[in-house]
Chains A and B, each alone.
Chain A
Amino acid sequence: MNLKLKIWRQKNSNDKGKIVDYAISDIEPDMSFLEMLDVLNDELINKGETPVAFDHDCREGICGSCSLFINGRAHGPDTGIATCQLHMRKFKDGDTIYIEPFRARAFPVIKDLAVDRSAFDRIQHAGGYVSVNTSGNTQDANNIPIPKENADTAFDSATCIGCGACVAACKNSSARLFVSAKVSQMALLPQGQIEAKTRVLNMTEQMDKEGFGNCSNTGACEVECPKGISLENIARQIREYAKATTATKK
């Protein structure tokens, strides 16, 4: 396959950045999208140019590192996958491919296609955990009976890999799908109840502080999420939030 690439190049966070055109040839349809970028980078290095910076780690869809907004969609033209799971057979010989970083005020570009997603970490630090006293007599979580339906739903929420595709796909750069998945995985389990109120309040507050947009219920996040996190999580976050703010203070 021969392709034309239009890639966002930006030296650092202060640089203005621009789209640069590249031509690439002899790409195998069975290569992954990231392998195609590896080939491009080898060529750039051989020519003495700076390779394109992009995030990646596991390359099997579980770490959430790979990002990229490809031809107008987060993780490219397929659903239920991260960019590392996207194959070149999804494109045609002669195609022009736009490759841009995930765009959000809360995700500033570090270099080229790599963005800083530490806003997600700060939201997690604000409440995305359960405090367990590990003094030695901690109860084994498996001893607590939990209805199968709740366990399954909580597990579904917990499959979020924090990739940020929801933010990238949302017209408002809203982080609601991510935050609501992180709130939900605890809200559905008994272990999460003790800190339930402060968790949803603090995480929601941090989300607003980081400068993410608000939810317009377009559902774009749900379509583009590699893990199929659903809008039901967002509704659950709202219910948790309403419960926490309207409960009588103790």
Chain B
Amino acid sequence: MSKSGLFRLTIGRKIAMALSALFLMIFLLQHLTINFSAVVSPDTFNELSHFMGTNPVIQFFAQPILIFAVVFHFVMGFILEIRNRKARPINYAKNNGAANSTWMSRNMIYSGLVILAFLVLHFIDFWLPEMNYKYIEMNAADPNRYYEELLHKFAHPARVIAYVVAFILLALHLLHGFGSAFQSMGQNNKYIDSLKKFGVFYSIVVPLGFIITAIALYLQH
């Protein structure tokens, strides 16, 4: 990239990371809405899933963007983390990080790694079977299959526990990440305090919504 390219230096990479995170946070809202519909009305869930699963704009435009955003976000997270570790070759014998910062802010890489592990499980659980069903086995579209499949997936308590743990870590990731993303885009202004408050609300309510859905599906089984 040219000498003045936006993303050449670390500041720019962090802007890109925040943008990808912002996209993921909007996506999470949409994903939660659909999941939660399964608890409220299986028919609505089937309809929404059928739409998302068959609409070409979603399948061939939105989905690749989403996958790119996720991969970009964690790859950039690793790149920055490696650089940050290199910046301090000798650690302090005694370091009191809690005196000046939150646990969440100092451990984004660990909460991120748990989310990543979850995403792998999630792909094996849902995405690969979907791709197989639709594009490899070329099964006919069946608008009513989704809810049954979903219930089946949440039959095992171990899976429900894995989901709950992952979403607690997502909440921790977002408790720092939400506000951090705005700061990374240079938006520290008179709105930042309200934004951060909304961030706390978002970071608790959204993961909690996913957790409630998972438990409700398990109980309905």
| A interface residue numbers (CB < 8 A to B) | 6, 8, 19, 69, 71-73, 77, 98, 100, 103-106, 169, 171-174, 201, 204-205, 208, 211-220, 223-224, 231-232, 234-239, 241-242, 244-246, 249
Contact = CB atoms under 8 A, between A and B. Distances in A.
Given A214-B14, A216-B84, A218-B105, A223 B183 contact: no
A103 B92 contact: yes
The A interface, classified by DSSP as helix, strand, loop or mixed, is mixed
Contact of B83 (A98, A214, A235, A242): A214
A214 B91 contact: no
7 contacts: A172-B83, A204-B11, A208-B9, A215-B11, A216-B106, A218-B176, A239-B186
A205 B100 contact: no
Contacts of B91: 103
A213 B88 contact: yes
Given A208-B10, A242-B6, A217 B184 contact: yes
A238 B15 contact: yes
Given A216-B105, A218-B102, 13 more contacts: A71-B94, A73-B96, A98-B92, A104-B88, A171-B88, A205-B9, A211-B87, A234-B188, A237-B11, A237-B186, A238-B15, A241-B12, A242-B186
A104 B87 CA distance: 6
The size bracket of the interface on B is 35 or more
A214 B18 CA distance: 14
Interface string B1-14: 00111100111111
A219 B101 contact: yes
B95 interface: yes
Given A216-B108, A218-B105, A6 B93 contact: yes
